[in-house]
């Protein structure tokens, strides 16, 4: 086996995944590189002839860590991408028609010896508590249109607990990262790949990718190839034949239709994504500075493309800015995201619908794990296996969290929802639901993405209320539990009242130039956040 250092990295495909990978690899491997080390080249091969699917418009807070690691100023990033802030996701009509709740980021309640939600459950049983959303600064501020970055200088205030993510234009984010990556030495090659050349002759390296043949006649060789070619998986699937774990029996939506729209006149700029359940899927609404991203994710077995598009257009709260665009997908993941000398990122690695805005996060964690297990040209099998095991566990954890939204519902108004509420679910999800249903206990497995408070908010929001609470909460007199809960809500209300509106905060810190508004409205094959 060849244990020499990697000297050439080829990224197939640009878009969000390709340029995130290029920027991160360049930051770590090229910036300030020791002159005594062998030279290292990073090249992105992409074609303007091939459209991209933007998978990024709404994110979770982890992207802040990625941007900070690249030295990106948050205000500059938001101006460049016409971004807004996100405190959580509002779910409408999911647990039942007419019901809504917010899955917010950050803390619920306050730190106690026994988790706050047990005191809330106790107070609720006594008729002395409001909705769970009253006890988080994020879920109280978002529907009021208020935003403020966390104030760590106020450690005893809920204002210190604000956790935020972003809404932004994924195409502009890719362009922003491309500029940074090229500034660090990444090379871009415009060209359409017509052939993928593999090594032959036997041995452990047989089947490894050797080079890409472009339509121009250029041959692009590499040691490590990163497949960011989207749903087609040019290297990982079409060339190496890696199989796909299809999860359609749990996540039956297989289509999306997307369209940008104008902001409704005089409506507040809310710092939250909205997900509204429909008869055969759900509709997203993502507010950017100069437009709104909208889409309808649906099951083609339960509604036609024309009907899905009509429902989407009827649900817009501002004029459409383009024609609807359709996307087909299958929910699931590659059986191995790293095979031979190819690592798949983004849609080439798998697809989980954007219900909880995890698409960009999966790109980010794939990059992080690649850097953690970065190979030499020997491609140690144990490292490859570890990468695949970690990515599989993360996909499966997110899968279960998404299934929870569909399965835990009282809706029976359509064949789609009757299927979802009665379908068998993974044993891992059944265990979590049963544990919570008893005494409100929450369990996070290993390094899974969603923490206990996320599971809490969605299970309660979807209508699963425990039969009891943790017995240790009873060590406090009942009046003290009630006072704790009511005082928390009162303090949060006061904090929300002093926060500026999101519109005012953006105007003061990170407003994007209006000249970019026309570009933001241009439809890509996009918006599956």
* Alpha helices in 267-414, H assignment, sequence order: 305-314, 359-372, 381-407
Query: Is 107 an active-site residue?
Result: no
- Domains annotated for the chain, with CATH where assigned, are 8-82+169-244+334-396 (3.50.50.60)
The two tokens of residue 380 are 């140690």
What pTM, to 2 d.p., does this model score?
0.94
Spatial distance between the Cα atoms of 233 and 334, rounded to a whole number of angstroms: 9
Q: Which listed residue (86, 107, 333, 432) is catalytic?
A: 86
pLDDT of residue 387: 98
pLDDT of residue 51: 59
Cβ-based neighbours of 342, under 8 Å, separated by 6 or more: 209, 225, 226, 227, 235, 236, 239, 240
pLDDT of residue 528: 40
Residues of the chain with pLDDT under 50: 1, 54-56, 517-529
Tell me the pairing of strands 100-104 and 219-221: unpaired
Cβ-based neighbours of 144, under 8 Å, separated by 6 or more: 496
Spatial distance between the Cα atoms of 157 and 495, rounded to a whole number of angstroms: 8
Spatial distance between the Cα atoms of 442 and 324, rounded to a whole number of angstroms: 41
Tell me the pairing of strands 88-92 and 100-104: antiparallel
pLDDT of residue 50: 66
Spatial distance between the Cα atoms of 505 and 13, rounded to a whole number of angstroms: 36
pLDDT of residue 52: 57
Q: Count the neighbouring beta carbons within 10 Å of the beta carbon of residue 8.
A: 15
pLDDT, tens digit (0-9, with 9 covering 90-100), for 329-355? 999 999 999 999 999 999 999 999 999
Burial string for 343-376 (b: 16+ CB within 10 Å, else e) reads bbbbbbbbbbbbbbbbbbbbbbbbbbbbeebebe
Instruction: Point out which residues pair with 409 in neighbouring strands.
Output: none
Spatial distance between the Cα atoms of 20 and 65, rounded to a whole number of angstroms: 13
Exposure of 474 in the CB half-sphere (CA atoms within 13 A): 7
């Amino acid at each position: 086996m060849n244990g020499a250092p990697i000297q050439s990295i080829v990224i197939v495909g640009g878009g969000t995944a390709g340029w995130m990978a290029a920027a991160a690899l360049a930051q770590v491997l090229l910036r300030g590189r020791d002159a005594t080390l062998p030279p290292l080249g990073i090249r992105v091969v992409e074609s303007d002839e091939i459209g991209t699917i933007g998978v990024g418009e709404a994110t979770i807070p982890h992207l802040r860590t990625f941007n900070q690691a690249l030295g990106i100023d948050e205000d500059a990033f938001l101006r460049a991408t016409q971004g807004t802030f996100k405190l959580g996701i509002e779910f409408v009509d999911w647990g039942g028609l007419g019901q809504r709740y917010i899955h917010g980021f950050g803390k619920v309640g306050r730190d106690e010896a026994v988790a706050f939600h047990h005191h809330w459950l106790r107070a609720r049983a006594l008729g002395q508590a409001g909705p769970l959303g009253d006890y988080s600064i994020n879920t109280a501020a978002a529907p009021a249109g208020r935003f403020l970055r966390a104030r760590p200088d106020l450690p005893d205030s809920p204002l210190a607990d604000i956790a935020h993510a972003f809404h932004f234009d994924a195409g502009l984010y890719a362009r922003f990262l491309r500029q940074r990556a090229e500034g660090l030495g990444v090379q871009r090659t415009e060209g359409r790949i017509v052939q993928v050349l593999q090594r032959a002759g036997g041995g452990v390296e047989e089947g490894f990718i050797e080079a890409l043949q472009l339509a121009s006649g250029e041959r692009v060789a590499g040691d490590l190839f990163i497949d960011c070619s989207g749903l087609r998986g040019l290297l990982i699937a079409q060339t190496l034949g890696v199989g796909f774990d299809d999860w359609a029996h749990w996540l039956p939506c297989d289509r999306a239709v997307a369209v940008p729209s104008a902001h409704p006149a005089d409506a507040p700029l809310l710092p939250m994504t909205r997900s509204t359940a429909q008869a055969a899927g759900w509709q997203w609404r993502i507010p950017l500075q100069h437009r709104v991203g909208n889409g309808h994710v649906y099951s083609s077995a339960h509604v036609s493309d024309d009907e899905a598009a009509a429902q989407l257009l009827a649900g817009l709260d501002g004029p459409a800015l383009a024609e609807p665009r359709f996307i087909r997908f299958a929910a699931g993941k590659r059986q191995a995201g790293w095979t031979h000398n190819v690592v798949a990122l983004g849609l080439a690695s798998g697809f989980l619908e954007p219900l909880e805005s995890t698409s960009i996060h999966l790109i980010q964690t794939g990059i992080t794990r690649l850097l953690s297990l970065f190979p030499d040209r020997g491609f140690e099998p144990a490292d490859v296996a570890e990468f695949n095991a970690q990515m599989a566990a993360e996909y499966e954890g997110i899968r279960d969290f998404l299934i929870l939204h569909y399965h835990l519902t009282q809706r029976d108004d359509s064949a789609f929802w009757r299927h979802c509420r009665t379908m068998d679910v993974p044993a891992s999800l059944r265990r979590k639901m049963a544990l919570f249903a008893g005494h409100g206990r929450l369990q996070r497995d290993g390094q899974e993405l969603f923490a206990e408070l996320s599971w809490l908010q969605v299970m309660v929001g979807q209508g699963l209320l425990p039969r009891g609470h943790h017995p240790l909460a009873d060590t406090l007199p009942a009046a003290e539990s009630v006072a704790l809960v009511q005082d928390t809500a009162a303090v949060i209300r006061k904090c929300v009242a002093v926060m500026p509106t999101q519109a005012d905060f953006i105007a003061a810190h990170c407003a994007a130039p209006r000249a970019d508004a026309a570009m933001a409205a241009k439809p890509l094959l996009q918006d599956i956040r």
